[in-house]
Structure 1
C-alpha cells in the first residue's frame, strides 16, 4: 500500500503549528490515488479536525502524537453538522464532525498505532450553543463499513473517545484509552469485535453499547464481541502512568467510579447476539444490561469475568420504560441472558446483583452459573427501610426515598442505575418482575455480617436454585413475595 508522509505535505510536528491542513492534504492525495496509508512520523502534530476518506489508513508511528489544539484566531474544529434532527438523544451522540478525527459514509478505513491521540483541547460536553470551533470527541464515525482501529493510545478523549454510529464490520484491537468520560461508545453498529483493549474512565462508561435514535431510525446493535479486555475507573490518567490512583471517590453523578461495560441506556433499537468474555473490571461499577426505550435486548452471553472493587451491583439487569423515542411508546423485552464463571471481590453492600423488570413486563430466561461473589457487607434492614441520605444517589431521585421495608420504588421512567432503587432489602440478589430464572453453582459471601435477607424474590415465576452457597448472619436466605414455581436444591449457609 502506498504511504503518504504528512511532512511532505507541510506538517511540522512541532506541537505549535496547526498541522491538520497538511494532514488533510495527505489524506486527499491518498484517496485520489485509490487508497493508501497516511503516516505521522515521530513528533507532536497540533491539529483540528482530521477528515478520513475511504480506503485510507491513518497511521501514527511510535513517538507520534496527534494533539487536539485549542481553537484560536477564528480557527478550530469542524462545525458539528446538522445531526439527527430529533430530540431523542443528547447533542454529543447525534453530531459527529466536531471531532479530532471523523468520517461519514466511508468504506475500508483504519486508524493504526503505535502512536498517541491526545484530545487535550476537547471538551467534556458540547451543545448547539457551544462556541464555534469547539471539539468534543477524539474519533467519530457515522455510517461507515469495514473499519479497523488498532494499537493506538487515546488520552483525554473529550465526551467520547471513540463513537462509531451505524458502523458495520468494526474491529477495535489493542487500544488503550485513559480519559474522563466514555471510552468506546458503540451505537447502532453490527459485526463488531473489541479485543485486547484497556479502557479507564472514572467519570463515565468504559465500553458501552447503545442503540439510539441518532440515525433518525431505530437500528439494532448486534453481533458484538468484547474479549480479553480490562475496564476500570481509576482517576483519569493514572491507569496509563501505572499509579492507579483513587483520590476521586465518586463519578459526577454521585455514585462510585464508573468505568464498566454497559448495554444501554439509549436502547430504542435494542441489542442482539452479544458476547462478553475474558474481561476484568477494576475499581468500577459492575456489568449493566439495560433496555428502557422500547428495544429488545436478547441473546447475551457473559463468561469468564473478574471484578475487583465493584462500586455498585456486580450484575444489573433492567427492563424499564423511559421510552425515549418516537411512538409507539411501549416497554421492550429483556430475555435469554446467560452469565457464567464470574468472580467478584469487594462489591458495594448497598446494591446486590439486581434483576428488575416492570409489572406485566418481566425479565425473561436468565441463567446464572459459576458465580463467586464477595460483598463487603455490614448493613441491615434498618438501612434499607430508612434510606439514609448519604447512601442514596441524589442525581437520580426526584421522589422521596421509601420509608418502610420492601417499599422498593418501581421508577419505571427513571434513568437506570443500581442506585435508582435506594439501598435494597437484600444483600446478595434482588429480583423483581422476572420469569424463568435459573441459578446453578453460585457462592455469595460477605466480608462483614449483613442481616438483610440474602435473596429477595418479588413477583418472580419459575425460579430454580441449585448448589447455592451463602453467608449467614441470622437472617433468612430467601424472602419471597408473589413467587410461583420456586425450587431450591442443595443450599449451604455455613461460613
Structure 2
C-alpha cells in the first residue's frame, strides 16, 4: 500500500472502524491495479484487494478518491471497505462496457417473491453468508449501469399480485417493468445485497440510483445501517427476514417505491419472521430522483409506476409470510410521500409494534394504513395473518390527500387487535363530497394492500373496519377546505374507547 493510501486511511480515522481488528491490515486498491479514471473496469482490482485482506485473516480495503467503474464486487468476511472523500464506485453498464455482473443464483424458487428478492449475486456489491463486514466512509455508490427492472413472482393468482391502481395498464406496460428472467442475464439490479449475513455495518456513504434495491438484506442478523443518504429509482432499504437490526439517521428518497421497508418473504424457502428491528431518526421522501442528493428537491414527478402518487414512506409489508415481531419506528420524518403502512397479507403475524414521533408533510396517500389481508401468496396451507398489539403515538401530519384518511382495515375473520392511537394530529386538504359519504368499500380481502385500494373513503379523518380493542386517546384533525364527509366512520369495532378528540372541518 502506498504512503498516500495509508494517509487516506489515517485521515478517515482508524478509531472509527466498526471492527477495530480490521485496522491491523490495510490494503490499497491501487496497489492491485485499480485506475479510478471512470473508463477502465476496476472491479477485478477491488476484488483482488478484498481477497488479499481476507487471506490475511481480515483487514481494511482503502478506496481513495477517484471514479471506479465496476461490475460485481464480492465481499468477504472480516473485511471493511473504506471510502475516502471523493471516492465513487460506479456501476458499469453491460450494454456499453466490456463485462457483466455475476449471474443470479440457480436453484432459487421464485414462486412467492419476485426476481429481485430471489437473487443476490447479480448486484454491484454483494455478500453471501459473510460476517464482520463493513462499508464505511464519505464515498458515493453510483448505480448508473444498474437496472431497476426484473420479473415478478411466478405465483400468478389473478388477484393480489399487483396494486389495484395498475388495473388499467396493458400487458406491454407491465412487460416493460417486469421483463423475462432471460433478459436479466449479465445485468445488475441491486447496489448492495446480503444473504444470511451476520454483524454487518454500513455507514457514512451515499447511493444514487440503486436499481431494484439500493440495499437488500435477507436473512441477516446484527445489521447496523447509519448516516446513509440514498436517492434511488426504486426501493431504498429492504430488510427481509432479518433479526437484530438498527437503521438510524438515514435519508432515503424513493419516489417510485418504498423508502425503508421491512419484509418477511419466502425468499429463503421458508417462512422467517422479521424481528427486533429499530428504525430511528430517519427521513424518507418522494422528491424527483437525484434531487435530494443535489439539494434541489424537485417536485416534477407526480405519479409512481403503480399509478398512485409518489411513494417514499416506511412500510412493513407487502411480503409477509413470516410476520413481524418487536419493531420500533421512532422520530422519523416523511416528506412528499405516502404515510406509514403496516400490512400483513401472506399469513404472517404482526405483533408488538411501537411507532412514535413521526412528522409528515405533503402526504400523498393515507398518513397511517393498517391492513390485514387474505392474499396468501405462499405454499399450500398458508393461512390468514393477524395484527395485534400496535402502539402509535405523537404523529403530526399535514397536507394529506383528502381521499385517504388514516385507515385501520382488518377482516371479519381476522380483526386488527389492540391498537392504541395516542396524540395524533392530522391536517387534510379537504374536498370530500356528499356522494362520498355513502360509499361502502368492498372487503377486497385478496387484493394487494395499498391505501388507494378502497377508493375514496366515506370519512375524512379516520376510517376503521374490523378492529378489536382499539383505543384512541388524543386525536386532533382538521381540513383546510370544505369536506362533506364525517370525520370518523367506524364499523365492527368491539371494545372501542375514544378519549380527547378535536375534529374540525371547514364548512361549505
Q: Using structure 2 for the length normalisation, give the TM-score.
A: 0.88
1:417 to 441, 447, 450: 450
Residue 481 of structure 2 contacts residue 506 of structure 2 at CA under 8 Å; is this kept in 1?
no
2:142 to 104, 118, 137: 118
Residue 265 of structure 2 contacts residue 319 of structure 2 at CA under 8 Å; is this kept in 1?
yes
Tell which deviates more after alignment, 137-146 or 454-463: 454-463
Residue 33, structure 1, aligned to residue 65, structure 2: no
- Secondary structure of the residue aligned to 2:466 is strand
Residue 459 of structure 2 contacts residue 488 of structure 2 at CA under 8 Å; is this kept in 1?
yes
Residue 231, structure 1, aligned to residue 231, structure 2: no
Whole-angstrom distance in 2 between the partners of 1:28 and 1:408: 58
1:67 to 87, 90, 108: 90
- Secondary structure of the residue aligned to 2:343 is strand
- Secondary structure of the residue aligned to 1:260 is strand
Higher strand share: 1
Residue 358, structure 1, aligned to residue 411, structure 2: yes
2:502 to 462, 469, 474: 469
- Alpha-carbon offset, residue 330 of structure 1: 1.4
- Alpha-carbon offset, residue 60 of structure 1: 1.4
Whole-angstrom distance in 2 between the partners of 1:67 and 1:350: 41
1:208-240 CA deviation, whole Å, 9 max, x = no partner? 000000000110000000011100000000011
Residue 83 of structure 1 contacts residue 96 of structure 1 at CA under 8 Å; is this kept in 2?
no
- Secondary structure of the residue aligned to 1:29 is helix
Please name the residue that 1:328 is paired with: 381
Residue 480 of structure 2 contacts residue 505 of structure 2 at CA under 8 Å; is this kept in 1?
no
Please name the residue that 2:155 is paired with: none
Whole-angstrom distance in 2 between the partners of 1:112 and 1:280: 24
Tell which deviates more after alignment, 69-78 or 34-43: 69-78
- Secondary structure of the residue aligned to 1:28 is helix
2:296 to 226, 231, 243: 243
**RCO greater where, 1 or 2, for CA within 8 Å and sep 6 or more?**
2
Residue 374, structure 1, aligned to residue 427, structure 2: yes
Q: Using structure 1 for the length normalisation, give the TM-score.
A: 0.90
- Alpha-carbon offset, residue 125 of structure 1: 1.3
- Secondary structure of the residue aligned to 1:21 is helix
Pairs within 5 Å for 1:78-157: 78-82=102-106, 84-127=108-151, 128-157=181-210
- Alpha-carbon offset, residue 407 of structure 1: 2.3
- Secondary structure of the residue aligned to 1:302 is strand
- Secondary structure of the residue aligned to 1:26 is helix
Residue 203, structure 1, aligned to residue 226, structure 2: no
Residue 281, structure 1, aligned to residue 305, structure 2: no
Higher helix share: 2
1:253-284 CA deviation, whole Å, 9 max, x = no partner? 11111010000000000000000111000000
Whole-angstrom distance in 2 between the partners of 1:338 and 1:113: 36
- Secondary structure of the residue aligned to 2:230 is strand
Residue 113 of structure 1 contacts residue 153 of structure 1 at CA under 8 Å; is this kept in 2?
no
- Alpha-carbon offset, residue 241 of structure 1: 1.0
What is the CA RMSD across the aligned residues, in angstroms?
1.2
Whole-angstrom distance in 2 between the partners of 1:250 and 1:353: 21
Please name the residue that 1:3 is paired with: 26
- Alpha-carbon offset, residue 359 of structure 1: 1.3
- Alpha-carbon offset, residue 474 of structure 1: 7.0
Pairs within 5 Å for 1:162-201: 162-201=215-254
Please name the residue that 1:396 is paired with: none
Distance 1:443 1:212, change over 3 A: same
Whole-angstrom distance in 1 between the partners of 2:392 and 2:108: 35
1:164-220 CA deviation, whole Å, 9 max, x = no partner? 000000000000000110000000000000001000000000000000000001100
- Secondary structure of the residue aligned to 2:127 is strand
- Secondary structure of the residue aligned to 2:492 is strand
Q: How many residues align?
A: 455
- Alpha-carbon offset, residue 327 of structure 1: 2.1
Please name the residue that 1:304 is paired with: 357
Distance 1:58 1:248, change over 3 A: same
Unmatched tracts of structure 1, length 5 or more: 386-404, 476-495
- Alpha-carbon offset, residue 86 of structure 1: 3.9
Question: Any runs of at least 4 consecutive aligned residues in structure 1 with deviations exceeding 2 A, and if so which?
Answer: 472-475
Residue 104 of structure 2 contacts residue 185 of structure 2 at CA under 8 Å; is this kept in 1?
no
Whole-angstrom distance in 2 between the partners of 1:270 and 1:49: 32
Whole-angstrom distance in 1 between the partners of 2:469 and 2:408: 12
- Secondary structure of the residue aligned to 2:125 is strand
2:469 to 391, 416, 436: 436
Unmatched tracts of structure 2, length 5 or more: 1-22, 152-180
- Secondary structure of the residue aligned to 2:278 is strand
- Alpha-carbon offset, residue 74 of structure 1: 6.0
Residue 52, structure 1, aligned to residue 75, structure 2: yes
- Alpha-carbon offset, residue 23 of structure 1: 0.4
- Alpha-carbon offset, residue 131 of structure 1: 4.7
